[in-house]
Structure 1
């Protein structure tokens, strides 16, 4: 049997990391929905529940429940859309930004642990490659 190809390695990587949050599932879901809203806003996209659903790969009702939970704990707020007052968008609150800042610090610590012993060049090349894959995925999946 031949070694897995790069596509298989990529999807094994995704499956592995998508399961790592089992011990902190509620916090992981909160980070997921806030990260989605943050990412969409950073790209200048609408931050509606439907857009968040697409961003995280859930159906609208699942995304709606996550958004509602994030609003209830004060990490997201809901307001009229910038482009269409009949629609509602969500945005990070100060508490949501603080929670994401903490999550990002933890993510950097995990990356540092996993790449312990790597050169800075290898770390930056890996980061750049991951970022390019994500950017390309956004472009390929843009409506």
Structure 2
């Protein structure tokens, strides 16, 4: 994945990451939940979701519990795109931490994971 000068790919990854993160935490990926996850307003999230849906990375469907509410989910193409983005992120992380011991690299990753988990607990 090359640098994304226009930002479109980055925004696509951002919205798909949000859907994946919400799903992993058992939170329905509604427009409002995605907006909150990303830290933008509902209209901005709605535009990102529409773009990701048009690109084939997300699918929108009526919520099982409430047919009036729509929820996003990753499509196979969206999962593939995220897998590619994660590989790129891991490559960049390896470059940034070149010369670090495996222990230092692992400890740093664990500390960042702990911070993210704590942020979810505070946000709840």
| Alignment TM-score, normalising by the size of structure 2 | 0.95
* Partner-residue secondary structure (3-state), 1:74: coil
Structure-2 separation of matches of 1:82 and 1:91? 13
Where structure 1 has 5 or more consecutive residues not aligned to the other structure, the ranges are 1-20
Structure-1 separation of matches of 2:12 and 2:87? 16
Matching residue within 46, 49, 52 for 1:70: 52
Q: Counterparts of 1:1-143 in structure 2 under 5 Å?
A: 23-142=5-124
Structure-2 separation of matches of 1:110 and 1:50? 31
C-alpha RMSD over aligned residues: 1.1
Where structure 2 has 5 or more consecutive residues not aligned to the other structure, the ranges are none
Higher normalized contact order (CA 8 Å, seq sep 6+, divided by chain length)? 2
Structure-2 separation of matches of 1:23 and 1:61? 23
Structure-2 separation of matches of 1:140 and 1:22? 32
Structure-2 separation of matches of 1:139 and 1:58? 20
> Once the 2 structures are TM-superposed, how far is the Cα of residue 24 of structure 1 from its aligned partner?
4.6
* Partner-residue secondary structure (3-state), 2:7: helix
Structure-1 separation of matches of 2:109 and 2:64? 33
Structure-2 separation of matches of 1:65 and 1:53? 10
Aligned residues: 122
Choose 1 or 2 for highest CA Rg: 1
Structure-2 separation of matches of 1:63 and 1:22? 20
